[in-house]
Amino acid sequence: MSKQYRKAANFSNIKAFENHLKGLDLSKNLDNINWKLVEGYNRRIIEIGEFVQRELIIPNDDLNVRSFLENSFSVVVKFGLILKLGNQGRAYERVYYDWMLGRVIENLFIPFIKEKMQLNALIRIGGDNLDNLKNANEFKRISAPDFYDPTKNISIDVQCGKTKSKTTIKKSKVDHVIKSGYNGYAFGIGLFTGEYAIINLNQLNNAKFTKGGKEGQLTTEIENIVFEPWSKSI
């Protein structure tokens, strides 16, 4: 690309010029967020969360889904975190929906995960924790697992599926587990199927990873998974 051509368009940065041509820079402003759509997503998350809460074989009656979401959303609004979620080529509102739904579901499943995996504790270690957040710079979406049991050196990465699709694991998740020395597991929750699966991430160290998926990251497809019901109706 000619620097003179880019300069004529008043751009010195290639990526900024690309985003300008795609119109992606317009979405990186809170004024351009469709807050009515976000409100609709919040209502749907509450609806799904309360349904899951009623269906859980191992109950979690301590969590008020509506209050949990409203408190979480107030932090998102206060610090403008919806723009820090990253859009991965998708609308920020949609990324928010996927992230917040996953946040609600993983918190509902804490007693379930602890019992099924015989854990003593589940301490949140991910960079996107909203608890005691002091400023927006503390919030980061990284490849770290969601939870950790220090008594057993076990980390848990919760995956929440909304369709009957193939189960894939990101290479970055496996790399983080290996580098950190954790006994790492992915805990897959199927909202579409009412089932769950536990996947040993350490055993995927030599797996074949290919680029794909909605985020364009290196992933590996998991076959022969044993699924068990988490729902009373299964």
- Contacts for 67 with CB less than 8 Å, ≥ 6 apart: none
Measure the CA–CA gap between 54 and 104, rounded to whole angstroms. 14
pLDDT band at 11 (very low <50, low <70, confident <90, very high): confident
DSSP letter at 150? T
The SS3 assignment for 175 reads helix
Centroid of chain to Cα 6: 36
Amino acid symbol at 209: F
Residues 6 or more apart whose Cβ sits within 8 Å of residue 151: 120, 121
**CA quadruple 123, 192, 66, 98: dihedral positive or negative?**
positive
| Mean pLDDT score across all residues of the chain | 87
Integer Cα distance of 73 and 52 in angstroms:
20
Look at residue 32 in the predicted model and tell me its pLDDT: 84
Give the side-chain half-sphere CA count within 13 A for 81: 25
Return the domain boundaries, the chain.
33-229
Cβ pair 146, 197 in contact under 8 A: no
Q: What's the pLDDT band for 201 if we cut at 50, 70, 90?
A: very high
- The amino acid sitting at 152 is K
pLDDT tens for 29-82 read: 777 899 999 999 999 999 999 999 999 999 999 999 999 999 999 999 998 899
pLDDT digits (tens, 9 = 90+) for 127-166: 667 877 777 777 876 667 889 999 999 999 999 988 877 8
Alpha helices for 81-169 (secondary structure H) = 92-108, 110-116
